[in-house]
Amino acid sequence: MISIGKLTSVEQAVRYLREAVAQQQLEYYTARGESPGRWNGPGAEVLGVRGEVIDTDFAAVLAGTHPRTGEELGKHWRRQSVVAFDVTVSAPKGVSILYALGDERTRSTILRIHGEGVQAAAEYLQANAGWARRYNADIKTTEAVRAKLVMPEFVHRTAGRSPIQPPGR
């Protein structure tokens, strides 16, 4: 199952993460016992963020600034109503139960296959949902351009307090 939530401000995202799940800012995505987040997507490559997601880089990207230089990413013509989308890919309950009750080999296989599904969803989003607008001064109009999405990916073996249903974001 895929669910999509809107993050309407960096502050909202940080507050949600702190109140809903963790005691420290952004700890939700780097919580102990869970795999660290990994950068994914062509936009991450352009920004030079690779490997493990670091809290400050994550917050900078959400704020629309380059995590290394602090430069503004893109042109903001007006206040953004949505700063990011939280796309969650969750396994069906039957798979979640198999994961919860299975041995290490079974859990490892489920996580690998689930990861393949998350990657397929990320590729689909890049190909079909990754659009932006750019002003073309020559023809005095805006044009749709292919955006390079920055997609930090987090694998959670738990959903909330339940030990069942491994979601991937």
How do residues 55-114 score in pLDDT, each as one tens digit?
Answer: 788 888 888 889 999 998 876 666 667 888 888 888 888 998 999 899 999 999 998 999
Cβ neighbours, 10 Å, residue 28: 21
Distance CA 169, CA 166 (A): 10
pLDDT of residue 145: 87
Sequence-separated contacts (24+) of 91-99 with Cβ below 8 Å? 91/1, 91/165, 91/166, 91/167, 92/1, 93/164, 93/165, 96/159, 96/164, 96/165, 96/166, 97/164, 99/157, 99/164, 99/166
Helix ranges, the chain (H): 10-20, 42-47, 55-62, 93-101, 104-128
Distance CA 13, CA 25 (A): 10
Q: Which residues, at least 6 apart from 133, have a Cβ–Cβ distance to it below 8 Å?
A: 142, 143, 144, 145
CA angle 83, 18, 1 (to 5 degrees): 65
Tokens of 29: 């995505």
How do residues 127-137 score in pLDDT, each as one tens digit?
Answer: 998 888 888 88
Distance CA 155, CA 52 (A): 12
Among 64-68, 115-119, 153-157, the minimum mean pLDDT is found in 153-157
pLDDT of residue 94: 92
More confident of the two residues 163 and 84: 84
Q: What is the pTM of this model?
A: 0.73
pLDDT of residue 35: 64
Distance CA 40, CA 164 (A): 25
Amino acid at 1: M
Amino acid at 45: E
Confidence of residue 158 (pLDDT cuts 50, 70, 90): low
How do residues 15-53 score in pLDDT, each as one tens digit?
Answer: 655 554 444 345 555 555 556 678 999 999 999 999 988
